[in-house]
Amino acid sequence: MIHEPRRADSNSAGGADAGRRFGDGGLNLKPSGRLHVPDSLEAGSLARPVGDTSVVDPVFSCRDVSVFYSAKQALKNVTIDVARRQVLAAIGPSGCGKSTFLRCLNRMNDTIPGARVTGTITMDGEDIYSKRQDVAQLRARIGMVFQKPNPFPRSIYDNVAYGPRIHSLTRSRADLDELVFTSLQRAGLWDEVKDRLGSPAISLSGGQQQRLCIARALAVQPEVILMDEPCSALDPIATAHIEDLIEQLRASYAIVIVTHSMQQAARVSQRTAYFYMGQLI
Stretch 104-143 residues interacting with ligand ADP (CB under 6 A)? 112
Nearer to ligand ADP, 118 or 205 (CB): 118
Closest CB to ligand ADP among residues 23, 95 = 95
Q: Of 96, 145, 217, 257, which lies in the binding site for ligand ADP, with binding defined by CB under 6 A?
A: 96
Phi, psi of 278 (to 5 degrees): 85, -5
- 82's enclosing H/E stretch is strand 72-82
Q: Are 215 and 184 in contact (CB under 8 A)?
A: yes
Alpha-carbon distances, residue 20 vs 16, 38, 89, 135, 156 (angstroms): 6, 17, 18, 42, 43
- Asked if 259 is part of the footprint of ligand ADP (rule: CB under 6 A), the reply reads no
For residue 197, CA distances in Å to 6, 115, 193, 213 come to 39, 40, 6, 14
Site for ligand ADP contains 78 (CB under 6 A): no
Nearer to ligand ADP, 98 or 216 (CB): 98
Residue 97 interacting with ligand ADP (CB under 6 A): yes
Environment class of residue 260 by beta-carbon count within 10 Å: exposed (0-12), middle (13-18) or buried (19+)? middle
Q: Which C-beta is closer to ligand ADP: that of 158 or that of 229?
A: 229
Residue closer to ligand ADP, measured from CB, 32 or 172 = 32
Q: Which of 68, 69, 162, 181 binds ligand ADP (CB under 6 A)?
A: 69
Among 61, 100, 259, 272, binds ligand ADP (CB under 6 A): 100
Rounded to the nearest whole angstrom, what is the least distance from the CB of residue 228 to ligand ADP in the complex? 8
How far does Cα 205 stand from its chain's mean position? 22
* Long-range contacts of 206-209, Cβ-Cβ distance < 8 Å, separation of 24 or more: 206/149, 206/233, 206/234, 206/235, 206/238, 207/234, 207/235, 207/237, 207/238, 207/239, 207/241, 207/242, 208/238, 209/149, 209/151
Q: CB–CB of 225/253 below 8 Å?
A: yes
Residue 125: CB minimum distance to ligand ADP, A: 26
The single residue among 11, 40, 94, 130 that binds ligand ADP, judged by CB under 6 A, is: 94
Of the listed pieces 43-51, 89-97, 151-159, 244-252, which binds ligand ADP according to CB under 6 A? 89-97
Q: Which is nearer to ligand ADP, 28 or 66 (CB)?
A: 66
> CB of residue 277 vs ligand ADP: minimum separation in angstroms?
9
Q: Does 95 sit near ligand ADP (CB under 6 A)? A: yes
Binding mask 24-63 for ligand ADP (x = CB under 6 A): ----------------------------------------
If binding is defined by CB under 6 A, does position 76 make contact with ligand ADP?
no
| Amino acid identity at 17 | D
Eight-state DSSP code of residue 65? E
Nearest Cα residue to 207 out of 224, 185, 232, 186: 232
End-to-end CA distance of the chain: 4
Please identify, among the stretches 20-28, 77-85, 91-99, 238-246, the one whose residues bind ligand ADP according to the rule CB under 6 A: 91-99
Q: Which residues bind ligand ADP (CB under 6 A)?
A: 69, 74, 92, 94-100, 112
